[in-house]
Chain A
Amino acid sequence: MLKSFFKALEMNVRVFFQYRASFALSLISFPVVLIVNAMLFERIYAHTGTDVIRGYSLSQMIWYYASVPFIYVFIYTFTAMRLSQRILSGELTMDFLRPLHIYLFEFAHAAASRVIGVAVEFLPTLFVYSLIYFPDFLTFASFLKFVATAVLAFVLMFQLNFIVGLTAFVLKDNRAVDDVKNITLGLLGGAAVPMDFMPEAVRRVADFLPFQYVFYEPLQFFLNKPETAGVMPLLHTVSAQIGWIALLFVVNRVVWAYFARRFCAAGG
């Protein structure tokens, strides 16, 4: 099974590599985010007359917003949409006959797209960003911590996307659920605004949900915030991510087992 998985991974990497130019467009679009945020926050910090706002220095604040697309590079997958399309078209029937479980095939597809994304988008964009606005806070250790938590964020996000994909067994078209997930990620995951700006009650709710482990927590390591110094914060975040991954994996398996037995495509 492992051999089949790596074969699927290799095949998907080859497919995605054909669209490398499209991925590379990020080199134009991502710096726009950095430039807009640099202009915006330089004015806000100057107008507020302070060096630190809610625990963020100017460069950390600029990089927080500019680095949200980095997280997307690590986590973005088409799993939810692909499952919905396969259920709508009936193609899922063929997937039941394949030697590789659709969960593993989708994971290989998602991982392949992210391998290309990290190679073609993340690393070159990080270099371009650094030329535009140097990340004075970044250390080698904080970078490694970020990569470790971002990789786990990808696995966690895949679990969430697969669950959203499974809703298509009932809804057929799951775009609405996917949109709700994206909005929740924006507000409770720290993608739209750092959680430090959220009201206390919202933060308390977010603590019981997995979303902040996708965006907010990995970015804290990237920004080398004082709270992330040492090994313990990393262990705490990693163990929380693994815990959520394990829980959502079980949910995926149970829900899949329930619906797969009842799935009926056109023709039988």
Chain B
Amino acid sequence: MKGLAALPGLVRLFVWHCKLDISRNMAYRFNFVVGMLISLLYSGVAPVAQYLVFSATNGYPGWTVPQLVLFQGMLLFWNGMRTMLFGKVLQQTVTLVRMGEFDRLLVKPYPPAGVLLTGGFQLNGLAPTLAGAVVAAVAFVRLGVEWHWWMLPLLLAFLLAGIGLYAALLMLFCGVLVVVVQMGRLGELFERAVSFSDYPISIYPKAVGAVFRFVLPFAVWVYFPAQTLLNRLDAAMIAAVVAGAAALLVANRIWNVLLDRYTSAGG
């Protein structure tokens, strides 16, 4: 099964993985509660650090402290969301490849990339997701920005495009893992790459900012959703959503090329 035809099955597979992870977590409730708290703390370190620097300076041009709190809320939300949806993907891929178990994915009825991406659910990401949503909502109310009906569909479009872009990047890194086998610094490289979105895109030089708006639209993860809630619309938002979806198609092509280079443990 290929392309869009595989989508309903992959969604079912994802739901099945979610149920499995939730059941697993419920079996070890204490570990689950501790894991949620730690996940919240982990995701909160970067926003706290950024806030401390921001409050000791004049901050970023065009951003006040309450606006930055809203941005931090969105950042916490996105960090939680990506952990929840794809938290296990890279580690699972490297385990499968190193243990020689990746071969069995090749004979499954669904595309291997789809199977890898749908198996990454991690319930621990729920805590920062909820905390981020609450922080952003409170900041939004305190800022007194007027709510418009179009904000919700726009936020949903960013979320979907953001998931597509993140899945595309994961697919690329999984493709590299399939070829190089050893994880080493790849996970770190991935985290460093996506950390560009931890700051408002407007602080980057124009050329770099343009890349993050149109080419690799990291802006859809945190910056554009925050801008939407601040009622600061930008024509680049539509382009970013399109680019986010297109990234998935490009990544799929590259994945197929990398998959051809896969050598099984058996030779």
On A, residues with C-beta under 8 Å from B are 19, 21-23, 25-26, 28-30, 32-33, 36, 39-40, 43-45, 47-49, 53-54, 173, 176, 179-180, 182-183, 186-187, 192-193, 197-198
Residues of B within 8 A of A43 (CB): 60-61, 203
Give the distance to chain A from B190, nearest Cβ to Cβ, in Å.
9
Residues of B within 8 A of A182 (CB): 42
| CB atoms of B189 and A25 under 8 A apart | yes
- Encoded as 1 (CB less than 8 Å from any A CB) or 0, chain B from 192 to 204 comes to 1101100100011
- Which residue of A26, A36, A197 is within 8 Å of B53 (Cβ)? A197
Residues of A within 8 A of B35 (CB): 176
On B, residues with C-beta under 8 Å from A are 31, 34-35, 38, 41-42, 45-46, 48-49, 52-53, 56-61, 180, 182-186, 188-189, 192-193, 195-196, 199, 203-205, 208
Given A49-B58, A193-B53, A19-B182 contact (CB < 8 Å): yes
The docked-state distance in angstroms from the alpha carbon of A159 to that of B215 is 45
The docked-state distance in angstroms from the alpha carbon of A139 to that of B61 is 34
Give the distance to chain B from A227, nearest Cβ to Cβ, in Å.
18
The docked-state distance in angstroms from the alpha carbon of A183 to that of B34 is 14
| CB atoms of B58 and A25 under 8 A apart | no
Q: Describe A's contact surface by its main secondary structure.
A: helix
Given A25-B184, A193-B49, A53-B57 contact (CB < 8 Å): yes
Residues of A within 8 A of B34 (CB): 176
| CB atoms of B42 and A179 under 8 A apart | yes
| CB atoms of A32 and B56 under 8 A apart | no
| CB atoms of A39 and B204 under 8 A apart | yes
The docked-state distance in angstroms from the alpha carbon of A149 to that of B27 is 45
| CB atoms of A29 and B38 under 8 A apart | no
Residues of A within 8 A of B182 (CB): 19, 21-22
| CB atoms of A183 and B205 under 8 A apart | no
Give the distance to chain B from A127, nearest Cβ to Cβ, in Å.
18
Q: From B202, which residue of chain A is reached at the shortest CB distance?
A: A43
Give the distance to chain B from A173, nearest Cβ to Cβ, in Å.
7
| CB atoms of A44 and B59 under 8 A apart | yes
The docked-state distance in angstroms from the alpha carbon of A192 to that of B216 is 26
